A = this chain, B = another copy of it.
């Protein structure tokens, strides 16, 4: 008899993400910044001064989104913008002294927590998990399959919620 682990795995995945969200929330309530703001600040500390586009891609957000986040960080005087002299299209972001100091003193409890949890698992299996997830990802990234192929009457899937309500995703509407 085949056991279906995929729903269970997806559920765990989603819950882990929600758990991460909560941790992040905890973190952000200790500073006075939102998570995306902290992420950008941290990335600037790690990478040094960077144009907006580069920051956007290293934090996996659109330029439009980062523009807004930087607006607010600039208001708080944690970051400042400078036009690049070599390419005047670019806007280079740097941490202010205040911003750098804040970013430097930031703990990253989620990461620590995750590492602690992970390291207490059977170490011979950790690599397997890592490999499997990478494998899975690679396959999920594979060429797209057809969408909306059938319109059968009773196609109601019985098993539970797989879709994450996360993120935006507007359509024309």
| Contact in complex: A169, B9 (CB < 8 Å) | no
Q: Known A6-B118, A58-B161, A109-B147; judge A35-B140 contact (CB<8 A).
A: no
Closest to A12 in B: B133
Decide: A137 near B19, CB < 8 A? Known: A61-B165, A161-B42: yes
Chain A interface residue count, Cβ-Cβ cutoff 8 angstroms: 106
Chain A contacts with B in 110-146, Cβ cutoff 8 A: 110-121, 125-130, 132-137, 139-142, 144-145
Question: A172's contact among B20, B32, B36, by CB below 8 Å, is which?
Answer: B32
Instruction: Tell me the complex Cα distance, A152–B61, Å.
Output: 30
| A48 contacts chain B at the CB level, 8 A cutoff | no
- Which of A26, A107, A113: most chain B CB closer than 10 A? A107
Are B5's CB and A145's CB within 8 A?
no
List which A60-117 residues lie within 8 A (CB) of chain B. 60-61, 72, 103-117
Chain B minimum-CB-distance residue to A27: B147
Tell me, rounded to whole Å, the shortest Cβ–Cβ distance linking A20 to chain B: 6
CB–CB A28/B171 < 8 A: yes
**Which residues in B have their C-beta under 8 angstroms from that of A19?**
137, 140-141
A-B contact pairs, 19 of them (CB 8 A): A9-B126, A9-B133, A12-B136, A20-B163, A24-B169, A28-B169, A32-B171, A34-B168, A35-B169, A39-B165, A43-B161, A105-B152, A105-B153, A107-B149, A107-B150, A108-B163, A110-B163, A121-B135, A125-B132
Q: What 4 pairs across the A-B complex have the smallest Cβ distances? A: A12-B133, A117-B139, A6-B115, A111-B162
